[in-house]
Amino acid sequence: MTSKLKFLVAASTLPALIMNASSAYAAGTLVGTDITNNVSVAYKVGTVDQTAATDSNTFEVDRKILFTVAEDADVTTPVVPNQQNAWTTFVVTNTSNDTLDFSLSPTQLAGVTATHGGTDNFNVQNLQVFVDSNGNNVFDGADTATSINNLAPDASVRVFIVGDVLPTQINGDVAGVTLTATALNSDGSAITAATDATANTDGVETIFADTGRDGIESDQDDFTVSTASLTVSKLSRVVRDNLNGSGTSADPTNPKAVPGATVEYCIVVVNSGSQPATDVTVSDDLGLVPDVTFDSSFTPATNGTVVSGNTCTAGGGTGSFAANVVSGTLTDIAGGETRTLVFRVTID
Partner 1 sequence: MKKIFVALLALVSTAPVFAAPLELASDVFVEREQKRPDGSVATILEEPKLVVPGDQLVFVVRYKNVGAQPASKFTVTNPIPRAVAFSGTADGTEIVSIDGGKNWGFLSQLKVGKADGTFRPALPGDVTHVKWNLNQTLAAGSAGKLVFRGVVR
Binding residues vs partner 1 (CB under 8 A): 8-9, 12-23, 25, 27-29, 33, 35-46, 48, 50-64, 97, 194, 200-202, 205, 207, 209
* 3-class SS letters over 184-227: ECCCCCECCCCCCCCCCCCCCCEEECCHHHCCEEEEEEEEEECC
- Nearest to residue 303, comparing CAs of 335, 336, 328, 277? 328
3-state DSSP assignment of residue 32 = coil
Tell which residue, 65, 33, 60, 34, has the closest CA to residue 193: 65
Q: How far is the CB of 80 from partner 1 (least distance, A)?
A: 46
Q: With respect to partner 1, which residue has the nearer C-beta, 195 or 308?
A: 195
Residue 201 CB, shortest distance to partner 1, in Å, is 6
CA neighbor of 40 nearest in space, from 49, 57, 52, 48: 52
Residue number, 168 or 201, with CB nearest to partner 1:
201
Q: Which residues pair with 322 in a beta bridge?
A: 325
CB 105 within 8 A of CB 182: yes
| CB of 11 or CB of 243, closer to partner 1 | 11
For 216-237, b/e burial (b = at least 16 CB within 10 A) is bbebbbbbbbbbbbeeeeebeb
- Of 60 and 72, nearer to partner 1 (C-beta) is 60
CB of 331 to partner 1, least distance (A): 56
CB of 140 to partner 1, least distance (A): 36
Q: Would you say 203 or 287 has its CB closer to partner 1?
A: 203
Q: How far is the CB of 193 from partner 1 (least distance, A)?
A: 11
Q: Which is nearer to partner 1, 30 or 216 (CB)?
A: 30
Report the alpha-carbon distance of residue 5 to residue 1 in Å, rounded: 6
Rounded to a whole number of angstroms, the minimum distance from the CB of residue 179 to partner 1 is: 26
